[in-house]
Amino acid sequence: MLLKSLRLLGDATRVRLLLLLEREELSVAELQEVLAKGQSQISTHLSQLKQAGLVEDRRTGKNIFYRLKTVSGAESKAVSQLLSLLRQTATEIPEAEQDPQALRLVMNKRRDRMRSYFDALAGRFGRSYLPGRSWQGLAEVLLRLMPEMIVADLGAGEGTFSQLLALRAKTVIAVDNSEKMVAVGKEMARAQRLKNLEFRLGDLESLPIRDAEVDLAFFSQALHHAQHPQIAVAEARRILKPGGRIAILDLVRHQFEEARELYADVWLGFTELELQRFLKKAGFRSIYTAVVHREPDPPHFETICALAETSS
């Protein structure tokens, strides 16, 4: 069995699959998300592993979950030896390094889906019309509860969000690389008499802000316009004070190619893993990511939120 399995596991994807299924019972869709491979490719590999007696499946409703096959006796010893060898082999597969982190994200999403389902059963709060209840009103209240601090709104455009932040922040520095956007923003700030809102012309990858000048760096649907998003995140880290925070709202990676022409998008969104990698490489800690919204109409853009902080 061991020799036959070794021949089968000469493929890096099958090695990664087996090590993942040793950790968790997973569906094809979840394995797709972890490995970033197509459904047919993963299904073919799983079929081969199942025929070799290394994995088994379990159907629950419409879903099929795969796991490492439970064996006993001599077979159990052989599988144990095989897995030990694969763990050593995995160190030579660059893509396998991020698999445990991607797996944690997938399992967190599974728990979030379950929690959302039971939350929906528990009540209908917020789903029925009530006079005066609105997201805009709630946002206004939350912004006014925000502690006074210096905020950098990066890729601010004409500054619609910057104006909201300025209602409470000590200072808002709105940065954009469009001279016309900055001019419009300055005029709007003057019209609204927002003396604590300052517009600066500059690039996300070379911010016109001093080191450790701000408490919060905010990207709102701006990072996918950066030529080098990793550099933009590193720049945000540079301008933050010790204990400062970064907040990113952007698109989940999608396939709507028309966005490049329609909205001048450089990147078609990001995965949670990519944003986590950007933040970690830039030196952030306490990193949190989640998909927070899905548009009901095609192409069903999704919004991802990422939060992190610097060391104190």
Q: How confident is the model at residue 116 (pLDDT cuts 50, 70, 90)?
A: low
- The predicted-structure confidence for 143-181, as pLDDT tens digits, reads as follows 778 889 999 999 999 898 899 899 889 999 999 999 999
Q: How confident is the model at residue 133 (pLDDT cuts 50, 70, 90)?
A: low
Count of domains observed in the chain: 2
Q: 66 and 205 in one domain?
A: no
pLDDT of residue 118: 53
pLDDT of residue 302: 95
Q: 72 and 168 in one domain?
A: no
Q: How confident is the model at residue 125 (pLDDT cuts 50, 70, 90)?
A: very low
Residue 23 is part of which domain span? 2-93
Q: 221 and 305 in one domain?
A: yes
Residue 163 corresponds to which tokens in the numbers above?
A: 């104006």
Greater model confidence, 147 or 74: 147
Q: What are phi and psi of 24, to 5 degrees?
A: -145, 155
Residue 123 lies in a domain: no
- Mean pLDDT of the 34-39 span: 91
Q: 293 and 148 in one domain?
A: yes
Q: 186 and 89 in one domain?
A: no
Residue ending a domain, among 93, 119, 154, is: 93
Residue 291 lies in a domain: yes
Residue 98 lies in a domain: no
Q: Bridge-partner residues for 43, per DSSP?
A: none
CA distance 161 to 143: 11
Model confidence at 41: pLDDT above 80: yes
Q: 63 and 159 in one domain?
A: no
- The predicted-structure confidence for 176-185, as pLDDT tens digits, reads as follows 999 999 999 9
Residue ending a domain, among 93, 120, 153, is: 93
Cα-based angle 128, 129, 135 (whole degrees, multiple of 5): 100
